[in-house]
Structures are given as structure tokens and as C-alpha cells.
Amino acid sequence: MLDNAAEGYVTADGRQIGPVVMEMRNITLRFGGVEAIKNISFDVREGEIRAIIGPNGAGKSSMLNVISGFYHPQDGEVFYRGSRRPPMKPFQVARQGIARTFQNIALFEGMSVLDNVMTGRLNHMKAGFLSQAFWWGKAQDEETINRQKAEEVIDFLEIQAIRKTPVGRLPYGLKKRVELARALAAEPQILLLDEPMAGMNVEEKEDMSRFILDVNDEFGTTIVLIEHDMGVVMDLSDRVVVMDYGKKIGDGTPDDVRSNQEVIDAYLGVAHD
């Protein structure tokens, strides 16, 4: 179904999925003698929600870290927007329009929620050194625009009430949401979410799922997410990569994956034992 759709396809719920925006080719990542990722290839299409699932230690987070430049694979190539991406530092990847969140939350604990979200706008600030230092014209306009964008994201994720609260004081679930807000504020082309629902209760998971769908729907943001919770992933995503012990054992729509015998054996089978 997907092979003959080079220009994209339309999902069951009527969303237009575009052409391939990012492709991982034969990625192999080793830590010393341990192969965390073994020769994995997959692609990500514009506007889709792409999930990477697998049991603990399958190499999902490593894969996300390869995409975001925190890890550099020994073998394989990353293609982004049609061209091969040279090895990059995480901040360079971020500047290319790929934002991310972390499994264990990496927020600026000492800053307010608003300030945290504003740091997501850093790459959209261009005013020169002097203009900034002395707060002249351009810097001020820019600040107003960036502030506005940040407030929009805050409204969107319904965290207005805690705008001025120092992040360190927030409960876990809200921190996760603030982290998402910061990533969104960057207006990324690809949003990487590392276990966005880890450690959340049912209600928080539902909220987060709704936000992920809304972000994708409203802004057309391509989302790559890692999840543990199979139920949530199957409902959310358009296509799923399944990993186990560093290998790819399945790739396709949630339905394809569900009926894939290898996946059932390695992952679902265990879960339903």
C-alpha cells in the first residue's frame, strides 16, 4: 500500500500524508561491544505520526538520539529533506527544525514556564548583538512576536494558569506538557517525543494523546514518537516501526504490525502470555 505512494497517501480519517521527509538507512550504533541498533532502515513521511515501539532495551531511545544528533551511528546514513545529513551536533539538528522531548524530562528547572517556552524560540531570534544589548527597535519587535508565539503554544496546551510558575515546582505530568510546549514553540518540522506518556496516569495519558493528535492536525507537524504503552501507540500513529534487541522486526500500519507474527512473538505475544 505504501510502496506505490511516493507522493504520499490519504489516511482513513482523511489527513493528507506527504512524501518522505526523513530516511534512516542501515543505521548501526555500537557502545563498545554492544550493538544497540543493528542495521535499521525506515522512513518518515511528512505530516504523519510515526511510532517506534519495542520492549525495554530494544534501542528505541538510541534511535531517537541518533535522529536528534545526541548519538552518532558507526554505520548508516540519515537523509533529511532529500539530502544526506553530515554528522551533526544536537544543537545543529535543532536548528534544522527538529525539536525533541526527553524521557526523563530536560527542562530549565530554575526558569518559569513562560521562560522555558521562550527558549524554544531562540532559533527564531536574529537581532544583532548591539541591538539586543541596547534593546533597540528590531530586537524589541522580535521579542514581541516571539512572545506572542510562545503564548499561543501555552494556550494551545492549556497551561496558561502556570505560566509564571518556576518549572521546578510543577508535578511530573505538567512538566511533560511544558517540555512539549517548549519543543512546539520552535515550530519544528519534525517533533521527536521520547516516551511522552511514561509515568502518567490514565487521565494525563488521554490529555497527552489529544495534544499529540491536535498538534499533528492543527500545525501539520510530523511526529516521531517512542512509546511503551502499546494501546496508546496503536490508536495514535499512522505507521509503526517495531524494534527488538536492536533489530527491526516490523514496520507498517498498526494493523499490519498487529498481525505480524514476528512482532506477536517478540513483543505482543509476551505481553498477552
Partner 1 sequence: MPEQLVFAMEVTLNGLMTGVMYALVALGFVLIFKASGIFNYAQGVMALFAAMTLVGIQQGRVPFAHVINEIFGTDIHYFGWEVPALLAILLTVIVMIAFAYLVQRFVFKHLVGQEPIILFMATIGLAYFLEGVSDLMWGSEIRNLDVGLPQGINDWIDVTTFEALGYGFFIDNLDIAATLIAAILVMGLIAYSQYTKNGRAMRAVADDHQAALSVGISLNYVWVLVWSLAGIVALVAGIMWGSKSGVQFSLSLIALKALPVLMLGGFTSIPGAIIGGLIIGVGEALFEFAIGPMIGGATENWFAYVLALVFLVFRPQGLFGEKIIERV
* Under rule CB under 8 A, residue 90 binds partner 1: yes
* Under rule CB under 8 A, residue 182 binds partner 1: yes
Name which position in 87, 129, 271, 273 contacts partner 1 (CB under 8 A): 129
Q: How many CB atoms lie within 10 A of CB 16?
A: 12
Task: Sort strands 9-10 and 49-53 into parallel, antiparallel or unpaired.
Answer: unpaired
The SS3 of residue 189 is coil
Stretch that binds partner 1, among 118-126, 203-211, 242-250, 263-271 (CB under 8 A): 118-126
The SS3 of residue 8 is coil
Could you give the angle at the alpha carbon of 11 between the alpha carbons of 94 and 271, nearest 5°?
A: 80
Whichever of 76 and 90 has its CB closer to partner 1, that residue is 90
Size of the site for partner 1 (CB under 8 A): 35
For residues 92 to 111, the per-residue mask of contacts with partner 1, x marking binding by CB under 8 A and - elsewhere, is x-xx---xxxx---xxxxxx
The SS3 of residue 140 is helix
| Residue 200 phi, psi dihedral angles, 5° rounding | -100, 155
The DSSP string of 21-85 is EEEEEEEEEEETTEEEEEEEEEEEETT-EEEEE-STTSSHHHHHHHHTTSS--SEEEEEETTEEP
The SS3 of residue 217 is helix
Stretch that binds partner 1, among 178-186, 205-213, 226-234, 253-261 (CB under 8 A): 178-186
> How far apart, in whole angstroms, are the C-alpha atoms of residue 268 and residue 177?
29
For residues 20 to 59, the per-residue mask of contacts with partner 1, x marking binding by CB under 8 A and - elsewhere, is ----------------------------------------
Whichever of 91 and 214 has its CB closer to partner 1, that residue is 91
> How far apart, in whole angstroms, are the C-alpha atoms of residue 96 and residue 82?
13
State the nearest-atom distance from the C-beta of 199 to partner 1, in Å.
Answer: 16
Whichever of 14 and 86 has its CB closer to partner 1, that residue is 86
Whichever of 154 and 268 has its CB closer to partner 1, that residue is 154
State the nearest-atom distance from the C-beta of 93 to partner 1, in Å.
Answer: 8
Whichever of 107 and 162 has its CB closer to partner 1, that residue is 107
Which residues of this protein are in contact with partner 1, per CB under 8 A? 68, 70, 89-92, 94-95, 99-102, 106-111, 115, 118-120, 122-123, 125, 127, 129, 132-133, 135, 139, 143, 182-183, 186
